[in-house]
Structure 1
Amino acid sequence: MSQIPSLDIRRFDSDRDAFVAELGAAYREWGFCGISGHGISPALIDGAYEAFKAFFALPEATKRKYHVPGSGGARGYTPFGIETAKDSKYADLKEFYHVGRELPAGSKYAVVMPPNLWPEEVPSFKHYAYELYEALDALGSRVLSALALHIGLSADYFADKTNNGNSILRPIHYPPITADNIPNVRAGAHEDINFITLLVGASAAGLEVKSQKGDWVPFTSEADTIVVNIGDMLQRLSNHVYPSTTHRVVNPPGEAARKPRYSTPYFLHPNPDFLIETLPGCISADNPNRYPTPITSHEYLMERLREIKLV
C-alpha cells in the first residue's frame, strides 16, 4: 500500500471476511486507516464543532473556570501550551477540553474516573459532546471487533474489556500562528496512549503519519471519513502486530497558519483495571514476547501522562 487506505465499515456486515483482512492489513502496515460508512450524522458532527468553537472563543478567565490543576486534565479544560510530546523541548500549540464516560452511581471506577465538567456558558456543549462521545464509542467497538477477528479472537473479545473504559473525547483548538519561525508545532511527533483513536472532522490539513520507511505522509481524509489509529496499549497487547504509529500535526505554510484549526479525537481506552498482558496468539518464534511483565491500563496511563507533562 503506497498510501493510507480508507475502508467502508458497512462491509463488516456485508463482506466480513474480506473487510477484516483488508482492515488488518492496513493496520499492520500503517497503524492508521480511514473509516467511512460509519453512520454518524453530519448534523451531530457539525453541531458538536459549533459548540466546541463557542467554548474556545470564551475569554481565557472563563475557560479557566473549567481547569482543574493537578488533575492531569482528566476532565474539563487544559490551557494553551501545557501538553508536551514525549521527548520534545517545546509545548504543543493547542488548548483542549476533556469529556469522559458518565458512570453509574456507585461505580468502582469513580475513584479514577471523575465526573464531567460542563461549561454553563455554552448550553449545547453537553448535549453534542456526549452524543458524539457515545457514537464514537460504538464505532470504536465495531473496529475493535474486526481487529479481534483478524488476530484469531472472538468478535466480542473486547466488549467486556472496554464497556467501562476510561475513554476521552478531546475537542482541540489550535489557535492562529502569528509569529514566523517558531520552534513549536501544533502537535509534536507522538504516539497515542490508548487502544484506538477515532478522529472526526479535522477542519484543516496538517496531520502527518510516519511510514515504516521513515517518511512523513500527509493524511487528510474526506469529509465523511473518520481517521482511526492504533494506540500504544493495543500495540503492547498485540505484541506489535498492530503498530502504534508516530504522527504529528504540522504548522501550515503562509497565510494558512493565520487560521485556527479544530479537531476532535476520541481516545478509546480499556477499563481501568484491565490487565495489559501480551495475547498468546501474538507471540511466536519470529515475534517473541516483548512485554513479559503485565500492567493495568490505569497504571500505564499514569506513566504516560507524566511523560507528556499532564501530571
Structure 2
Amino acid sequence: MRQSRLDGRAVALLLLCCLLWGINQVAVKAALTEIGPLWQAGLRSVVAGALVWLWSAARGVRLFERDGSGPGGLLAGALFAAEFACIFIGLQFTSASRMVVFLYLSPFVVALGMPFIAHGEKLSGRQWAGLVLAFGAVAFAFAEGLTAPHSPRQWWGDALGVAAAVLWGGTTLAIRATKLAAAPAEKTLLYQLGVSALALCAAAVAAGEPLPPAWSPRLVGLFGFQAVIVSFASYLAWFWLIRHYAATRLAVFTLSTPLFGLLAGALLLGEGISVRLLAALAALAAGIVLVNR
C-alpha cells in the first residue's frame, strides 16, 4: 500500500540519494574529458543493468514473468534513455550549475501531471507555495553560476537541460500511470537500464563517437561511481520509493540535489560556502516542510 506521508526511513533514503545525485553531476562532467557522452551514458546502463540482474537473481525476484508491464516498461526506458542523452550531451555546452538548475524543473512536471493520474496527489495552494519556494531556493543558490560568461552554444546545453527535466518527470509519471506501479523496483529499473543501454550505445555507434583507447584509474573511478553507486544502488532505491510513497512528496526532495552538489564541492574541493547558500538551504527546508505537512 502506498503511503501518503514520508516516514523517517523514506526521508533518510531520499536525502542519501540526493547527495549521491549531487556528486554525480560532477563525476559526469569530469569524465567527459576522457569518454564521449553517449558511450558514457550507455555503458553505465550496461554495467548497472547487469548488477540489477545479479541482485534480482540472488534475491529471487522474478524479472521476466508476464505481468502486463511491457508497454509501460518500454515507455519508461525510452524516456530514461532520452533524458540521459540530453544531460550528457548538454554538459558539453553548458556548465554543471546551469544544467542542474534546469534539470530540477522536474518536480513541477510531476506536480502538474500527477493529479491526472492519482487524484489523491493533487497539491493544495500551500503545497504549491512550498514547491515554488523550494525551487526558488535552488535558483537563488545557483544565481552566481548563471552570471558566468556565455559560450556561443550554451543556449543549446540549457535547452537540453530543460528537455531532460521534462523527460525525468515524464518517466516518473509513466511509472505511476502504468502497470509498472505494481512491479518490483528491480524490474522497473531493469526496463530503463536495458532500453537505455541499447538505445544509447546504438546512438554512440551511429554518431561515430570513439571509445577511449585506454581507461585511466581516474576514468574507472568516475565511471564506477556512476554505474555502481548511482545507476544501480540509488536508482533502485528511488524506484522502490516511487512504488511505496506519494510521487509529489518525493519529487520536491530532489530539489536538494544541486545544493548537495555545492556542499560536496566545499568538502571535497575546498570551495567556500557563502551566505547565499546558507539562506537557500533554509528556504529549501521551509519549502519541503510546506509540501510534506
| TM-score of the pair, normalised by structure 2 | 0.31
Structure ranking higher in strand proportion? 1
Higher relative contact order (CA 8 A, sep 6+): 2
| TM-score of the pair, normalised by structure 1 | 0.30
Structure ranking higher in helix proportion? 2
